[in-house]
Amino acid sequence: MQKVDKQKQKKINGWLKWLLIILAILLIVIAGALIYANSYIDRSKAMIEGEITIDGIENTIEVIRDDSGVPHISAESDEDLFFAQGFVTAQDRLFQMEMARRQASGRLSEVAGEAALNSDKYFRTLGLRRAAEKSAELYDEESMAALEAYAAGVNAFIKEAEKEDAYPGEFFLMGLDEMEEWTPVDSLTIGKYMAFDLGGHWERQAFNYYLVNQFEEEEAFELFPTYPSEALTNISDEEYVDITTSMTKAEQPHHFNGSNNWVVSGNKTDSGAPLLADDPHLGLATPSIWYQMHLQSPSYDVSGVIFAGIPGIILGHNEDIAWGVTNVGPDVQQLYVERRNEENSHEFMFDDEWVEADVIEETIDIDGEESISYEVLETVHGPIISEFANGIDSPEANTALSLRWTALDASPELSAVLQMNRASDWEEFETALEDFHTPAQNFVFASQDGTIAYKANGKIPIYENPEDALLPMPGWDSDYMLEEYIPFDELPKVVNPEKGFVGTANNKIISDVYPYHISHVWAQPYRYTRIHEVLEESDNLTIEDMKDLQMDKMNLRAREFTPIFLDILDSQDWDDKEKEALELLSNWDYVDEENQGAPLIFNRLFAKIEDELYKDEIPEDVLEMFKGSSQNADVLVNKAYAGESSIWIDKQGGLESLIQESFTETIEELTASYGEEVSGWTWGDFHQVYFEHPLSGISILDRFFNKKDPVPVGGSSVTVMAASHGDDGVVNHGASWRFVVDLSDLTNADHIVGPGQAGHYRSDWYDDQIEGWVSGTYHETKLDDYEGYRLILKPQ
């Protein structure tokens, strides 16, 4: 018996020995894999010190990255400067650049598979790349040289990455083992994509079209765009007289795309020189949409931000001037209802004749699937986009929707950018704007000579009847062709206004005296009104005041509507919890602070009101095209509170019933989410910022690419500190870059680029500005006397 036991023990010992050997081998293999992965990941980090010998440059180039990761590039020629800009941008943002050109060109399916197919179809249909190719033909020798030098710099880095097996890790995860050469058209296509992100309104036309075909006329018109008649505009009637004599299938821009900017005369500042501030509101993601740089050569000494993939500096300052933009949001996209020939689907009626559309045969390659053929039709107006209108079709048979859009025309924006970078005064800067067609932007400007100025700039169609811009127009009638544009010299402009400042926040910019139509859908006036009241009340403004105003969380929508809600709700017999919630609202100072409960109650209550107004009547996918829905909700509530009839509110049993039921449901939902103790609720429990990386949706990668948890943050979509959130409370849209500068010293300016400069998740500059974005902690970027990590690019 003992002998048997010994044999068993011997076998067990043998198994254990082999198990230990196998485990040891596995540990060695895993350790080796981790070491290799670690080495591979580190190889793809940007080289920021030392020397790189490189082909394609004439002279030595110096690149100094300062403490915030901002590259300061000094070159002896403009060509070397833009070569280095391309090289350095690719060092930090190569994966972002690759995804940007693929998305804008309709080529995401090649790496993302069928999930990206609808997006690719949409961008192939729009033809941003086709528009970029047409635009390239417009560029002069100087601009094309900049584009080619930039592309050569990107390609030089691609070669380095291939040689060192040092592509960013995202390439491996997406199954990309190589990258096609960068071209000037790639840069221009990304520029056209930014016009897409900032210049759309056709979805609202399609929504209006849905309304008039689904509801009675009065009911439909009540949801058409409106704007408060008493709201401030940038240009009053008096100023105008003075200045004119001197789809779920479709990828949609964010509803709250906008911005703030303002410029203050030296007569109202502590330094005696102008102050300028700008904070463009775009999607918040990792990496940032912006890349901050300082470029220096014989022709340039300019600092600011640019989209990764494009040469120059689009927003910022040089030694003499500073400038910033917000989105005008004009009606530059027009839908047309096209009559299709029943016997030939490629022909459409135009002035009583069948006219054949241009047929563009596209092949879309799909990762893991067979390639598909995709047909794009372009009528005399533009591409047929019915497929992407969320089922919003004409009631007539054999019709289609086409899109006329200024961004699909050839346009030379990069020439404008390069001219702006070198401008030294308002005259030179305004001349540069003549080449900036799309997207239409509100430019604010300041120079060291004390001039401050504003111009709403871009290619904006002239509508003989402004009401035509509310709905699709008949594509078969040439009388509805949009062939003329507001003359450049008649675009809204103010130079050195008497009040000492001018600013914009996507609000209505012109009074009714202005002779041209610009838009039906303006941002709610709350941000601009707040900017105006702060700037108006002081004559001793400082750069710190500008920062404070950019971080201002005063909610003027709450200041307007909280008294209305309290008036309606105070008359009811509520339980203790609801009474406590009402008390929080009644004692609130209307500031959307993240540590207060009142902003949570107010903002969720208004969201519930909007939901109740529309959800039972309009399908969810169609509601996604209802841009400006909050503006309509404001108008409907005010209208009903003033005793006027409102069909949409009457459907809810009247305003009192709507508010009471929405309040009850809001408190129930907040209790379920945050507990019974109302005193413990805070806005930041729900409202949190998270700069999501595009690959962090894959759960195993979340902690790699988003190393920090969502951060509670104040503000909202209607505060100057813009922080717009989704249904889950995650803030995904807001000030993508904050910039303030005092023209008394243009050798430096203050910036915030959330979440950071670098695209590599192991870089110290990957997400180092998240806390600063939340708290308003800026970094200073200088034009001289800067220090940091020094990289030398040497010619071969």
Which residues are annotated binding-site positions for Ca(2+)? 331
| Amino acid occupying residue 472 | P
Q: At what angle do helices 78-105 and 117-126 cross, to 10 degrees?
A: 120
Comparing CA positions, the residue from 738, 786, 720, 742 lying closest to residue 322 is 742
CB 711 within 8 A of CB 688: yes
Distance CA 510, CA 39 (A): 58
Burial 522-548 (b: 16+ CB within 10 A, else e): bbbbbbbbbbbebbeeeeebebebbbe
Tokens of 795: 């010619």
Strand partners, 77: none
Please give the annotated binding residues, written as ranges.
331
Please compute, for residue 497, the number of CA atoms within 13 A of its CA located in the half-sphere on the CB side.
24
C-alpha–C-alpha distance, residues 289 and 253, integer Å: 14
Across the strands, what pairs with 781? 749
CA distance 134 to 680: 58
Phi, psi dihedral angles at 355 (to 5 degrees): -115, 130
Residue 500 token pair: 């000492």
Q: List the end-to-end C-alpha distance of the chain, in Å, as a whole number.
A: 82
For this structure, is 259 an active site residue? yes
Q: Which helix (H) or strand (E) holds 495?
A: strand 493-495
Instruction: Taking the CA atoms of 559, 565, 566 and 568 in sequence, report the sign of the dihedral they define.
Output: positive
Q: Name the CA radius of gyration of the chain, rounded.
A: 28
CA within 13 Å, CB half, 67: 9
Catalytic residue among 105, 109, 259, 662: 259
The secondary element (H helix, E strand) that includes residue 118 is helix 117-126
Cis peptide bond N-terminal to 563, omega within 30: no
Residue corresponding to tokens 């001039």: 451
3-class SS letters over 144-160? HHHHHHHHHHHHHHHHH
Q: Alpha helices of 629-766 — where are they, by DSSP H?
A: 629-641, 647-650, 655-674, 683-686, 702-705
Pairing of strands 441-447, 372-378: unpaired
CA dihedral 247, 251, 252, 257 (to 10 degrees): 170
The C-alpha angle with vertex 683 and arms to 681 and 686, in degrees rounded to 5, equals: 95
| C-alpha closest to that of 631 among 783, 752, 525 | 525
- The H or E element that residue 750 is part of is strand 748-752
Check if the beta carbon of residue 47 is closer than 8 Å to that of residue 69. Answer: no
Active site residues: 259
